[in-house]
Structures are given as C-alpha cells and as structure tokens.
Structure 1
C-alpha cells in the first residue's frame, strides 16, 4: 500500500545557505501575512473569503511589486499560500482556530519546498552525507537512516536552539506487518505511562521532571540577563549574553522533547507490532488540565501525541485502533462480571475487589481489559470508516 512517510534529519548549512534559508523563511512569512490580510478584508467586506486559486493568480503581480520575492525558491512561496488556504478550510470546518499572522520573533521558523519532477528518488537527491534541496543545492546532513520512496517535498526548520532540520515527505510502498491474532487495551496514566490489558507496564520516565531544576536555574539566569539588558536600554535582539542564555534554555527544552518523542515512538511501534486490535480511551486532555495539581504531569506525558502515533502507525501496518467513547467507565467496571463500582473514582484506590463476583483487580490492568473488550465489541458491530474506529 502506498503511504506518505516522513524522515527527519539534522542539516549543517554553510553561512551562505543559512542566509538563503533566512531569506526564504522571511519571504514565505511575508506572502502568508499579505494574503491573510487580504483574505480577512474580503471576508469583512463581502462575507466571503478568497480562495487558493485567487491568491495564486495574484502571486506573480506581488513578485513584480516586490522583486526580492524572486530570489528564493518559488515553490516555498507558493506553499505558504497553500498553507493559508488549508488553515482557512480547517477553520470553516471548525477543526481549528482562525489563522494568525506569522511573527519573525517566533523561536521556530520554517518553510516547505516541493521537490520537482517524478525522478527525485533518494539515489538522485542523496549522495553520501549530502542532500540536494531546492535552491540550496547540496547541504551536509546527518544521514542516520536510509530514505525509501519518492521524495515529494522538504520542510526546512530552524529551531529555537539555532539548529537546522529537514523533514522529507516521501511516497513509499509500506508493507503490512504480520498478523498476530492479538487484541489489547491500552490504559494511560500518570504513575505508569501505559498499562496493557495483558499486564505489560511502561514506566513513566518523567523527562521534564529530571531536568526541571536545571531548567529553572537557567531560566532565572535568562531573566537576570533580560533585566540587565533592559536597564542598559539595549534591545534584546542585540544583547549577546541574553541571546546566548536564551539558546541554552532552548537546548534544555529540546533535549526534553527529543527524549519524550523517542520514548513515544518506541512504545507505540512495539504495541502496533505485537497486536492487531488496539483499544484506547477518548481523552479530554484540555479539560483534564484544568486540575492545577495534575496539569503539569498531564502535559508531560503527551497522551494525545501517543494516541496520534498509534493511529498512523496502525494505518501503515494494517492494524486497527479503536477509540472507546469518553463516557465508557473503563476503571469502574469489573472486567469479569460488568459490575460498576463507584468507589474506584478515587485515584488513590489502586486495587479493589468486585463486590458482585469477588474477583480482585489491579485498577489499571482492569481498565485495560475493559478497553480491550469494548474495542472488540465495537469492532464486531462496525465496519471500517464508521464512528468508533480510528
């Protein structure tokens, strides 16, 4: 089955390439903001917005007016218009917020360039540790894995820590994984990250917690250097000590994010590899974060990202993820007889005995079993594409 797949690599551009990347980012941002302003003005005047085609037709005139737009890759500028149209489409479908103007002060900046022609295979675009990118030509990169498939586009990103990365979107024939005949329920938590219905436990390594003290110390230094710069009436963009410390703080955040992402990929791949049907619960993470005592811990575990990984990897490899309804009381129900025990609402109760059938339960394993059974029930009475299937 042909699927889209992404590969992310760190790149090491030369000084000249860094200048061109900065120019391309700036031009893409300018075009996005220009048409966003026009789109809002048209909507306010007529009640209707613009369209991707209408903006694309105006793009050549805009390039004539601002000649420096022609110095960068044309597909990068074109893609910024497409991203705006897609953002509005999501907004009108109530699947996202209203598009906002892009700021050059945003710590993370990026642009997307198309790889032209159908002949752009990895063998053509990658030679050793160099990667051919539109307008930038050959860029040195950390070639950590083999790219398979036809490269469609490349997103070049500059992070808050000053590093450069490229994400390659490829079209690739992905083979399904062998069927195991196994079903599993996945209950996520704070004490342990994930507990499966078969008793497998994935520990919560708390990557943010391990570096929290160091991060707080460096952030205090950043605040002091900010005050010093402001007292001397120096712009923060020109305050060298402030900018150095800002990058140091960004590197700590980046380290936390990288460790967490690596952990989520390993766990999600292992679960998809070993099970054909995966039952997960529908979580209202934003509502759960209203609890001030638990909001930091909930943010740290990244449940939403974990569920997203499970879904797209299951789609790749021919497995099925079933989302169980948010009203399903997975923790309170006895997986043996179905009795609902209200006392289990309290998080402190980690083990309990069913008053109806007398079976002793571990709270999390029991929840996983209930999710597994409910997923199998939904799957038995549903077809692919109906509500309940992810």
Structure 2
C-alpha cells in the first residue's frame, strides 16, 4: 500500500523486507520516545536525508524450511572468507570476515538482521546481527580486585589504586591542522551560495568537505581505539569497576569546558565498559557523584560543610583535611570515595 503512495519506493533495489524493517524501526522509535519523555516535551525533529548520500537500510534474513539455519544458508549468507551474498545486492566483497570465521564455528551461528550503511566518506559497511546457542566469548577468571575510577579533564582518569591515565586530547592536538581546512571549507560554501550554485555541484567544496571529513574520522578512530583498549583492560583485571554517574549533557552547558568534555569521550567510555562487563561476566556500577570530590576518604569530613574549609575549586588539585590533617590528591581521594560508594551499594 505504501509503495503506491511514493514513487521512489517502487525501486527494484527495495525489497518488501526493507520497507517492513523501516516501518518497524519507525514505530519502535516513537514508542521509545514516548516511554522516555512521557509526552512532556514536543515532538522530536526527524533526521533529514543526508546531502551526500550517507544513510543505512535494514533487512531481515530468511531461511528455508527443513534446512539448517547457519551463516552459510539463508537469503543473506556467507559465501567464503571474503564474500557475502545479500538480497538485491548480490555478491559483495568484504573485509574482517576471515578472522571471525577462524575463531568461531559458523555452523552454529545464524544471521538475523542485516544492516547496509554508507558513511559521509563514501565507505560502505555491512553488519550482521548474529545469534548462537554457544557463547561468543568466555567469562574472565576472578581476580578479587575492585576499582573505583574518577573521570576528569585534567587527566583522563585516576583510579583508587593511585594510577593515572593521561588524557590524549586527540581533537585538541589536531585542532591546529583542522582550523585551516575548516576555514577553506567555509569560504567555498559561502562562495557557492553567493554564486547560486548547489553544494552538490560545487567540486571544490566537495573535495574540501571530504578532506575535513577524513581528518575528523581519523580523530574519531584514534579516540575509539584508545577507549576500547582502556575499557577492556579495566574489565579484564578487575571483578568490580565503579564510576560516577556524570551528566555530560548538563556539563556541556559550561562553555569553558564544553570542548574538553566532548574531546574526552566520557559517555562513549562508560558505554564500552557497560557492555564489556556484561559480555565478560564482570560487574560495573555507577554511583551518585555527590561529595565524592569534597569528602575526605579517611574521616568523612566534607569541604564547605563548615567554616574550617571552603569548597574545593577546580584548580585545587591537592588539599589537607582540617579534621584529620590527612593530605589528599584530589582525584585519587575522589576515586577512593567512588569505590566505597559502589561497595556500599552492593552490600
């Protein structure tokens, strides 16, 4: 029915399964929005079509009756170590598949939803949602170690053992190289608009846009690699990891710190730890950050609670407790308080 209403949906490349998946995703998005906001805010703004063709499509996989459901059967299937077959698109050459097939038994894994996407660099990606009766990973052995981590912008994190991980500042370090490229992009965009030309037909603008996009993608890849390695190391070496529940959205309203907070990638880091803890049989919890920085871990005195000590400011990296005279390094003390809160929550 919907195909009759819109001419562009009558393309031979679009299957009924693709349209059905899009409608299901549309309804699921609305239900999720209603559940999250309970109709207390206005309707969401829909994402418009990308100017340069970036986007994605989903389709469900189908299996014939009385045949095994594995990665080598079905409408979307693996052909060999470097090729897959997808409905309407046919045989596609892919990378990173051979390594997966070496470490997993494809005969007991079935392919569910298939997503084909294109990014703003013009690269195509295909991802399979997989299901298996056997676990994809094995849980790590118990270490008996528990760790609290304090996330900050001065360094990336300080843990309750006193270890400090420096903030790599990928965007900040690349900003001086990006600045000129972005200025050139802005000039070419203004020139095209002034001459009444479409940005799609402006070759110089498109070349510069691709150059800026590649530089930004390199920054994103480096940050993701750093966060992946660090989150895996924390989960691998500790049975319990505790972090503070930071609201990055509210913190970004501070214009003096907004760029540094975006560069550090706290939310992405927390998401990575969360799913890796579940995947490898570890425990990761988040606690209320209230007074974790201001409270002395030794005696429980809270700075600013009386006349003896004012509240710690961002520039105060070390301080002495006026109650028990203990000397504290701000971030290490906060990490110890975070770990204590996590242990109390589990008790």
TM-score in terms of structure 1 length: 0.76
Cα 1:313–1:99 change in 2 (3 A) is same
Describe how 1:213-292 pairs up with structure 2 within 5 A. 213-292=176-255
Larger RCO (CA within 8 A; separation ≥ 6) = 1
The yes-or-no answer on 1:75 pairing with 2:7 is no
Is the CA contact 1:87–1:99 (under 8 Å) kept in the aligned structure 2? Answer: no
| 5+ residue gaps, structure 2 | 305-309
Cα 1:98–1:305 change in 2 (3 A) is farther
Deviates more, 1:148-157 or 1:271-280: 148-157
Q: Residue by residue, what CA displacement relative to the aligned partner does 1:259-311 show, whole Å, maximum 9, x if unpaired?
A: 11111111111111111111111112111111111110011111111111111
Equivalent residue for 1:157, pick from 103, 117, 125 = 117
Q: Residue by residue, what CA displacement relative to the aligned partner does 1:184-219 show, whole Å, maximum 9, x if unpaired?
A: 101101011111111222211011012112211111
Count of matched residue positions in the alignment of Structure 1 and Structure 2: 319
Deviates more, 1:368-377 or 1:91-100: 91-100
CA RMSD of aligned residues (A): 2.2
Is the CA contact 1:161–1:248 (under 8 Å) kept in the aligned structure 2? Answer: no
2:94 is matched with which residue?
Answer: 141
The yes-or-no answer on 1:121 pairing with 2:84 is no
Measure how far apart 1:64 and its partner are. 4.5
Counterparts of 2:112 and 2:338 in 1: how far apart (Å)? 38
Counterparts of 2:218 and 2:16 in 1: how far apart (Å)? 34
Equivalent residue for 2:50, pick from 105, 108, 120 = 105
Cα 1:126–1:82 change in 2 (3 A) is same
1:379 is matched with which residue?
Answer: 346
Measure how far apart 1:70 and its partner are. 4.9
Measure how far apart 1:126 and its partner are. 4.9
Counterparts of 1:122 and 1:204 in 2: how far apart (Å)? 44
More helix by share: 1
| 5+ residue gaps, structure 1 | 1-60, 381-390
Measure how far apart 1:119 and its partner are. 2.0
Measure how far apart 1:103 and its partner are. 2.3
Is the CA contact 1:84–1:99 (under 8 Å) kept in the aligned structure 2? Answer: no
Deviates more, 1:249-258 or 1:90-99: 90-99
Measure how far apart 1:106 and its partner are. 5.0
